[in-house]
A and B are shown apart, each in its own frame.
Chain A
């Protein structure tokens, strides 16, 4: 962009204001102001009613010792790990398969795998609740018909099982996202690279490990960061599937903040949790970013 070009049409101030103001105003009103007031509320003991006293950082001290909060954090980590390992793994495998010339119906597979991405989290939560239902669920029915009764579980009612059960719908719904990110990276790799390697005798597995993986490494980082930040904030799926139960065994951070604020009406403490969630998830992404940079420089 050349500066003389930019100056060639000088807009009148009023025109510029008319273009910018409405959008910026709505945006600031909805996202920027609440971000600051949230922090303000988190320093008060505001519960239901008009009483609102400044209590400094007491809510944050309480948060540090809140076992449910840390349980929720651990659950988020399990969900993040599950998605990183299983979802990214499958997406990478599929990317390699998609590159094979022998594969037919790529358009069909792509359309089918990406479809759940566009569904609402609530719908996906309900679909999987029906899949997991003990007596009338699809999963148990399929297992029964395959004579694998020993695998039947109380998918959503067993405190030990539940966190894994709620991770699967997330892996399922968003598999299309890393897949598409990888695929668009792979399309950037020129065919010649592969052809040369084939001549040199590289097999499918070798091609995957030594060419595809390094070449899509940077877009893999993007996919991983996206996955971490969205899974740290997962909310609707869990609310619909289990409500955080049984007990608090499938509680996650965003849901804990929500239920503290709106079910138990502790608005001050709920705000502190929201800020805590923000810091933890942002921190995790930053840590990962640092690790990825170190990994690349070696």
Chain B
């Protein structure tokens, strides 16, 4: 009796202490996350202000929603050209990467053949080659073969750079699919291509979507190759276009912000829709690389 009356306030206090601790922890964590995201939020709402409104008060929220900056950026700043080029490059790259990496990944996981280890090591080594040491020789190689400044110029390097990770993802996934499936199809007289595309490929859906998303994000954001291999304005992609745009609209902060939002938006939408897969895929890719 005596014992419990001493204990009760004590455990009550301890409980109160831990819940205050929990509250502080959550407040601190929230403050941290908001600080992290704030630069992006600031760019987003400032892009809806007029230039004068922004100059008057840098931090204030827009008085009214004003989409003029977006019009200027998209039409006068020619962002629509860069936008279209980025979409073209990303879509074509993603399709080719999925096609080729599934072919190679399937062959590597299903067949034993001479040179298999050589090919395996080749792709593995490629994940460690820094892009920057390839810029000069690749530029010269493309220049000599007259491959620069074409509609599909960037597709080749983009596909090649994304291949290794995609191949390893497919290879390790196909390995988990029972071989008996291929054998049964073979006995029924199915051709290899039929077996791999109509039977095995549909089973690879989870890894296909990971490859798709990662290849899309990487291609959409790619900068150095686009900077070096394309000189014609009409073929530029968004990241290079942005640097161009910046030279043109240096003092027009709000227009610049609208341009930034335009180029972030597709990536952010994809991210919010597939965040689990992206976080997992990127972490796995990082650890593998």
The distance from the CB of A122 to the nearest CB of chain B, in whole angstroms, is 4
A9 CB-CB contact with B under 8 Å: yes
The distance from the CB of B250 to the nearest CB of chain A, in whole angstroms, is 11
- Is A274 touching B246 in the complex (CB atoms < 8 A)? no
- Is A120 touching B221 in the complex (CB atoms < 8 A)? yes
Q: Mark A187-223, 1 if CB is under 8 A from B, else 0.
A: 0000000000000000000000000000000010010
- Is B161 touching A30 in the complex (CB atoms < 8 A)? yes
Task: State which of A16-24, A64-72, A76-84, A152-160 sits at the interface with chain B.
Answer: A16-24
- Is B183 touching A8 in the complex (CB atoms < 8 A)? yes
Q: Give the interface SS of chain A, mostly helix, strand, loop or mixed.
A: helix
- Which residues of A are found within 8 Å of B134, using beta-carbon distances? 30-31, 34-35, 38
- Is B275 touching A114 in the complex (CB atoms < 8 A)? yes
The distance from the CB of B151 to the nearest CB of chain A, in whole angstroms, is 17
- Which residues of A are found within 8 Å of B42, using beta-carbon distances? 131, 138
The distance from the CB of A235 to the nearest CB of chain B, in whole angstroms, is 6
- Is A103 touching B29 in the complex (CB atoms < 8 A)? yes
Closest Cβ neighbor of A260 among chain B residues = B136
A51 CB-CB contact with B under 8 Å: no
Q: Give the interface SS of chain B, mostly helix, strand, loop or mixed.
A: helix
- Which residues of A are found within 8 Å of B43, using beta-carbon distances? 127, 130
A278 CB-CB contact with B under 8 Å: yes
A97 CB-CB contact with B under 8 Å: yes
Q: Which of A225-245 contact B (CB under 8 A)?
A: 226, 229, 233, 235-236, 239-240
Residues A141 and B58 in contact in the complex (CB < 8 Å), given A24-B104, A236-B224 = yes
Interface residues of B (CB under 8 A from A): 18, 21-22, 25-26, 29-30, 32-33, 36-40, 42-43, 54-55, 58-59, 100-101, 103-104, 106-107, 110-113, 119, 122-123, 126, 128-141, 156-157, 159-161, 163-164, 167, 179, 182-183, 186, 192-193, 217, 220-224, 228, 238-240, 242-243, 246, 253, 256-257, 260, 263-264, 267-268, 270-272, 275, 278-279, 282-283, 286-287, 289
The 10 closest A-B pairs by CB, nearest first: A120-B221, A102-B22, A30-B160, A34-B137, A122-B239, A23-B100, A19-B107, A38-B137, A274-B133, A23-B104
Interface residues of A (CB under 8 A from B): 3, 5-9, 11-12, 15-16, 18-20, 22-24, 26-35, 37-38, 41, 94, 97, 100, 102-105, 108-123, 126-128, 130-131, 133, 136-138, 141-142, 145, 172, 175-177, 180-181, 184, 219, 222, 226, 229, 233, 235-236, 239-240, 254, 257-258, 261-262, 267, 270-271, 274-275, 277-278, 281-282
